[in-house]
Chain A
Amino acid sequence: MQFDSFQALITMGGHGAYVWFSYATFILVILGLILATAIQRRQVIKHHRRLMRSEAQRHGSGGKTHNASGA
C-alpha cells in the first residue's frame, strides 16, 4: 500500500481530483456501454415477439386483418 491514510489516498498529494475523475469516467463509460447493450438486447427480443404475434394473428384470421402495429 502506497498511502498511509485514507486521506492520503483521496488527495494523492494534490492530484487526487485528476486521478479519481479519470477512474470515475472510466466506470461510467463502461456501465453506459453495458446498459446500452442490455437495452439493445431487450429491444431485439421485443421486436421479435411483436413480429411473431402479428404473424400469428394474420394466419389465425385467414389473413384478413393485417395489423401493422401488432397490438
Chain B
Amino acid sequence: MWQWFHKLGSPKWFFGIAGRLMPWLGWSALIVLTAGVVWGLLFAPADYQQGDSYRIIFIHVPSAYLGQSLYVAMAVAGVVGLVWRMKMADTFIASATAVGAAMTFLALLTGAVWGKPTWGTWWVWDARLTSMLLLLFLYLGVMALRGAMEDPDVRARASAILVIVGVVNIPIIKYSVEWWNTLHQPATIKVTEAPSMPASMWVPLLICLLGFHLLVAWLILWRMRNDILLRERRARWVRDWVLAQ
C-alpha cells in the first residue's frame, strides 16, 4: 500500500503509466459513449409524461454527476497535497479543474434546456440550481486563483485550501432536492434502491455514465502528463522524451 502510494507520488512513474493507459481509455470512451448516446437517442422508449425531451437525461445526469465527483476528488487531492506535500496532488487539481468546470457547465446548460419544455422555464433560483451554479463559480475561482499566482508552492497550497473549503457545497447540492421544495426531481438512480425507471431507460443511462467516466479519465491523464512535463522541465527523462517527439 505505502509502496504504491510512494510510486503514485513519482512524476516519472505516473507519466509512463498514464501514457500506457491513455489509448485504452480514449478508445473505450469513444465506443462506450457512442453506444450509450445512440441507444438513448434512437432506441430507448419515449417517456409517457415528458415525451422525447427526457432524452437529455443521457448527458445531463452523467455531466452533473462528474461535475460533483471531480470536485470531491480534487478536495481529497487537496488534503493529500497539504498533509503529505505530494506534488502529484497539485498536478491532479491543475488538470481536473477545467474538466470539472466543463462538466458542471454542461449540466447547467442541458438542465436549462430540459427545464423549458418540462417546467415551462429555463431557470429558477431554487436550491439545486443555485448550488450547482455555485459549483461552477468554485471551479472558475480555482482557475482564476491558479492563474494569478506565480510561486508553485504558494499556488498549490492556496488552491488546495480553496478546493477543500468549497467542498461543503457538495452535500448541499446532493440533498437540496430533499431538504427544500424544488422543481428539480430527486435522484432517478440510487445505489441502495431499485431504479424508478424501466431498464430500457436506465441501462443506456448507465452506459453513458460509464462512457463519461472513461472520457474524463482520459482527458485528465492527458492534462496531467502535460503538467508533469512542465513541472519536471529540469529532469533528464523529460528532455529525452521531448527530443523523441
Q: Which residues of A contact B (CB under 8 A)?
A: 1-3, 9, 12-16, 18-19, 21-23, 25-26, 29-30, 32-34, 36-37, 40-41, 44-45, 47-49, 51-52
Report yes or no: B226 in contact with A41, Cβ–Cβ below 8 A.
yes
Segment 189-219 of B: residues with Cβ below 8 Å from A? 215, 219
Known: A1-B43, A48-B229. A40 touches B242 (CB 8 A): no
User: Do residues A29 and B105 form an inter-chain contact, with CB atoms below 8 A?
Assistant: yes
Please tell me the number of chain B residues within 8 Å of chain A, measured between CB atoms.
40
A22-B114, A26-B110 known; A13+B226 contact, CB < 8 A: no
Report B35-63 CB contacts with A as 1/0, cut-off 8 Å: 00100011111100001110110011001
Contact of B46 among A13, A22, A23, A26 (CB under 8 A): A13
Supplied contacts A18-B113, A19-B41, A22-B110, 8 more A-B pairs, CB within 8 Å: A15-B53, A18-B56, A21-B113, A22-B109, A33-B99, A37-B223, A48-B242, A49-B242
Interface of A is mostly: helix
- Which residue of A13, A25, A33, A49 is within 8 Å of B109 (Cβ)? A25
Which residues of B does A touch, CB under 8 Å? 37, 41-46, 51-53, 55-56, 59-60, 63, 98-99, 102, 105-106, 109-110, 113-114, 116-117, 215, 219, 222-223, 225-226, 229-230, 233, 238-239, 242-243, 245
Cα–Cα distance between A52 and B55 once the two chains are bound (Å): 52
Chain A neighbourhood of B109, CB < 8 A: 22, 25
| Complex partner residue of B117 from A18, A29, A40, A49, CB under 8 angstroms | A18
Of listed A12, A40, A47, residue having the most chain B CB within 10 A: A40
Which residue from chain A places its CB closest to the CB of B29 in the assembled complex?
Answer: A30
